[in-house]
Structure 1
Amino acid sequence: MTTFVDRVELHVVAGNGGHGCASVHREKFKPLGGPDGGDGGRGGSVTLVVDSGVTTLLEYHHRPHRKAGNGKPGAGGNRTGAHGEDLVLPVPDGTVVLTPDGEVLADLVGEGTAFVAGQGGRGGLGNAALASPRRKAPGFALLGEPGEERDIVLELKTVADVALVGFPSAGKSSLISVLSAARPKIADYPFTTLVPNLGVVTAGETVYTVADVPGLIPGASEGKGLGLDFLRHVERCSVLVHVLDCATLESDRDPLSDLDTIEEELARYGGLDDRPRLVVLNKTDIPDGQELADLVRPELAARGLPAFEVSAVSRKGLRELSFALAEQVGRARAARPAETPTRIVITPRAVNETGFTVRPEGEGFFRVRGEKPERWVRQTDFTNEEAVGYLADRLNRLGVETELLRAGAREGDGVAIGGDDDAVVFDFEPSVSGGAEMLGRRGEDHRMNQLRPAVQRRRDREARRRDGADREFEEFSPFD
């Protein structure tokens, strides 16, 4: 059964925003209460957060589809809908977020680092928020926006100071088990280690982490063996340690050829040329192993590679190795650039920037793209003529009609707002100014218009009653 997963494809769906409410206040003896529809709630977002207690992406391997909560619709009485519940997904330290095409979206390193993988949709405005001096009683509300939906790829790259690399059965797992408190699986057959193991080593005042990378073979950079699945775990390490088997039983292998093969695979993988190298001549507790270590040491010195003769069984040379690694890690940490505080750069909008584009596509067809026009289209209820007229007014105020005329659009040409998948297409009619001629006097509630004659009649009766009482008082005054 799989217990370690370092690459998954995740499908995230943010919550939809709740629809706004179109409502008119009703109360006894108050027929003209006015609009009181509340706004819809915001949809929940999907956020990835680094959690030090998580070490694998196994949970998302079994459940690759994740969805946040939807916002609730608004209600009468100016009641705003509840916001959708945000979905927080914990991921291991060192998780890289990519698109299916390989584009890096975020590199999550450090406890608490967060990335919003799916943004929740905005809630629609109710008719109370849409009221204005010219539109006193809107008979419509805006729809909530759909939440962001997309596929992402999560890749885990181990965050460690030192990486142990070498052929299968070179003794990397045994070495990390004696250097630290890690307890990896150890056996006398190749590819015993199928997942990276991490161990914490203390050498004097320096504390650093060591990663045992599963065994590499020729062609690993092309995906052979465990290949690319675990070569990426070497990327974040500051120091590379070649663990060479000095007691191998294979006649076609020796420490130097193993070193050359692994270096060739690292070079093909790329991006690791600047990392300092150390060489560990392992299994020197065996007589043949010690003889082979003595033979290759001069060649390693000629290449400028520090070499340490160690034995995981007898603990030979481990102290010297741990302090040498601590020194290299200290240098690497000191060479890192100092962290600078994050600065927020505010870029003002250009004076002539419209916020949208108009592009001709073929004969008699134009496409409008832009954040505002596309968002307004998503929020419009096209079954409500008043809402469509409100959209036309907004587009005209933004200058869409002017830009269409400048681009050469004529009456009857097709105009699409949005992309190919979710565009709204209509015929261009420049003579209609914001739909005013089509819809007449928008913003007036006909139900309220029907109430006005009854209200006036009641007021007339009250006036006549007061007038009759005044005449009766004059006729029967005791002061005559």
Structure 2
Amino acid sequence: MTTFVDRVELHVAAGNGGHGCASVHREKFKPLGGPDGGNGGRGGDVILIVDQSVTTLLDYHHSPHRKATNGKPGEGGNRSGKDGTDLVLPVPDGTVVMDGAGNVLADLVGHGTSYIAAQGGRGGLGNAALSSARRKAPGFALLGVPGDLQDIVLELKTVADVALVGYPSAGKSSLISVLSAAKPKIADYPFTTLVPNLGVVTAGETVYTIADVPGLIPGASQGKGLGLEFLRHVERCSVLVHILDTATLESERDPISDLDTIEEELKQYGGLDRRPRMVVLNKIDVPDGKDLAEMVRPDLESRGYRVFEVSAVAHTGLRELSFALAELIAASRAAKPQEEATRIVIRPKAVDDSGFTVVQEEDGLFRVRGEKPERWVRQTDFSNDEAVGYLADRLNRLGVEQSLMKAGARSGDGVAIGPEDNAVVFDWEPTVMAGAEMLGRRGEDHRFEAPRPAAQRRRDNQAERDDVTQEFNDFKPF
């Protein structure tokens, strides 16, 4: 049964925004109560957050589809709908978030680090929020915006200070079990370790973590054996330790050739061959192993490696190795620049950015793309003529009609707003004003207009009487 998963494909869906409400206040003795439709609630986000208690992506392997709740629709009486609940997904420290093409979206390192994987949709405005001096009684409301749908890949890269690398059965699991309190599986056959094991080591005042990476073999960087699956767990480690078997029973192998093979795999994987490293000659408790270690040690030291002879079984040389690793890690930590707690990236828009684009496609169709026009289309109830007129006004104010004219659009040409798989297509008719404005001041009710001052009423009434008198005097009977 699978107990460790370090790569999953996750399908996340944010909550949809609730629809706005079109309502008119009704109360006895208040026939003109005005619009009182509330706004729809915001859809919930899908948020990834680092949790130190989580060590695997196993839960998402079994349940890869996750969805946040929708926002509630608005109601009459100026009651806004309830916001959807955010869906918080805990992930291990060191999780990398990527899209389907392999582009990195976020690198989550450090407890509490979060990333919004899918944004909840906006709630639609009710007719109370849409009312204005020009539009006192809107007979429509805006629809809620659908939440984001994302297919993402989560990849775990173990966060550790030291990585133990080497051939299968070189003694990595045995070494981590005696250096720390970790209890990995240990057996006398290859590929005993199928998942990375982590252990915490204390050496003096330095505390560091050590990772036992599953055994590497020739061709691991190209996917042979288990190497490709777990080489990524070495990427975050500051120090690499080669565990070389001095008591191997395979005649074609020796510590020098093993070292060269693993070094080549690290180089082929990319970037790992430049990490600080040291060499551990393991199993010197075996007589032949001790002799072989003394034989190859001068050659390894001539290459610039710091060499330690140890025995995980006999607990020989472990203290010296532990403190040497602590010294190397302390120097590595001191060399790293102090990272800021919060990093804000500002990406200002270009001064000539209109917020949308108009492109004529090969079939002659003009396609409008942009965050605002596409969102406005999704918020429009096309069964309501007033709502369609409101959309036309918004697009006209944004400059879409003018851009269509510049792009060469003529009366009757097809115009699509949105992506190919979800667009609204209509036949364009150029106008000086948006269609709803040609019909008059849309959404107005003169009964809601403010009363005229008394002096103005007197002047208007006198003017009407004068007009009647003049008409009477000009009247000539037959």
CA RMSD, 1 decimal = 1.7
Aligned match of 2:95: 95
Task: Give the secondary structure class of the aligned counterpart of 1:273.
Answer: helix
Aligned match of 2:297: 297
Q: How does 1:59-78 map to 2 (within 5 A)?
A: 59-78=59-78
Distance change in 2, residues 1:343/1:94 (3 Å): closer
Determine the C-alpha separation between the residues in 1 that align with 2:263 and 2:19: 60
Distance change in 2, residues 1:219/1:447 (3 Å): farther
Task: Give the secondary structure class of the aligned counterpart of 2:368.
Answer: strand
Query: Which runs of 5 or more structure 1 residues have no equivalent in the other structure?
Result: 450-480
Q: How does 1:129-278 map to 2 (within 5 A)?
A: 129-278=129-278
Task: Give the secondary structure class of the aligned counterpart of 2:96.
Answer: strand
Distance change in 2, residues 1:364/1:188 (3 Å): closer
Is residue 317 of structure 2 the alignment partner of residue 334 of structure 1? no
Determine the C-alpha separation between the residues in 2 that align with 1:303 and 1:146: 61
Query: Which runs of 5 or more structure 2 residues have no equivalent in the other structure?
Result: 450-478
The Cα shift of 1:301 comes to 1.0
The Cα shift of 1:437 comes to 6.1
Determine the C-alpha separation between the residues in 1 that align with 2:437 and 2:164: 76
Are the equivalent residues in 1 in contact too, given 2:162–2:237 (CA < 8 A)? yes
Distance change in 2, residues 1:345/1:218 (3 Å): closer
Are the equivalent residues in 1 in contact too, given 2:13–2:150 (CA < 8 A)? yes
Task: Give the secondary structure class of the aligned counterpart of 2:288.
Answer: helix
Task: Give the secondary structure class of the aligned counterpart of 1:49.
Answer: strand
Aligned residues: 449
Aligned match of 1:324: 324
Cα deviation digits, residues 207-264 of structure 1 (max 9, x gap): 1000000011111101111121101000000000000111111111111111111111
Aligned match of 2:12: 12
Determine the C-alpha separation between the residues in 1 that align with 2:267 and 2:426: 57
Distance change in 2, residues 1:361/1:447 (3 Å): farther
The Cα shift of 1:100 comes to 1.5
Q: What one-letter code is carried by the residue in structure 1 that aligns with 2:252?
A: D
Q: How does 1:327-406 map to 2 (within 5 A)?
A: 327-340=327-340, 342=342, 344=344, 346=346, 349-362=349-362, 364-406=364-406
Are the equivalent residues in 1 in contact too, given 2:136–2:448 (CA < 8 A)? no
Distance change in 2, residues 1:350/1:247 (3 Å): closer
Determine the C-alpha separation between the residues in 2 that align with 1:321 and 1:242: 12
The Cα shift of 1:369 comes to 1.1
Determine the C-alpha separation between the residues in 2 that align with 1:345 and 1:288: 59
TM-score normalized by the length of structure 1:
0.91
Determine the C-alpha separation between the residues in 2 that align with 1:230 and 1:345: 32
Aligned match of 1:111: 111
The Cα shift of 1:436 comes to 2.4
Distance change in 2, residues 1:160/1:73 (3 Å): same
TM-score normalized by the length of structure 2:
0.91
Task: Give the secondary structure class of the aligned counterpart of 1:297.
Answer: helix
Distance change in 2, residues 1:363/1:232 (3 Å): closer
Determine the C-alpha separation between the residues in 2 that align with 1:69 and 1:203: 49
Q: Larger deviation: 352-361 or 329-338?
A: 352-361
Cα deviation digits, residues 114-152 of structure 1 (max 9, x gap): 000000000000000000111100000000000000100
Distance change in 2, residues 1:347/1:290 (3 Å): closer
Task: Give the secondary structure class of the aligned counterpart of 2:259.
Answer: helix
The Cα shift of 1:431 comes to 2.2
Aligned match of 1:475: none
Task: Give the secondary structure class of the aligned counterpart of 2:48.
Answer: strand
Q: What one-letter code is carried by the residue in structure 2 that aligns with 1:278?
A: M
Q: What one-letter code is carried by the residue in structure 1 that aligns with 2:185?
A: K
Are the equivalent residues in 1 in contact too, given 2:97–2:153 (CA < 8 A)? yes
Determine the C-alpha separation between the residues in 1 that align with 2:342 and 2:184: 40
Determine the C-alpha separation between the residues in 1 that align with 2:323 and 2:114: 35
Structure 1's consecutive aligned runs of 4 or more residues displaced over 3 angstroms after TM superposition are 340-352, 437-441, 444-449
Identity of aligned residues (%): 79
The Cα shift of 1:343 comes to 5.3
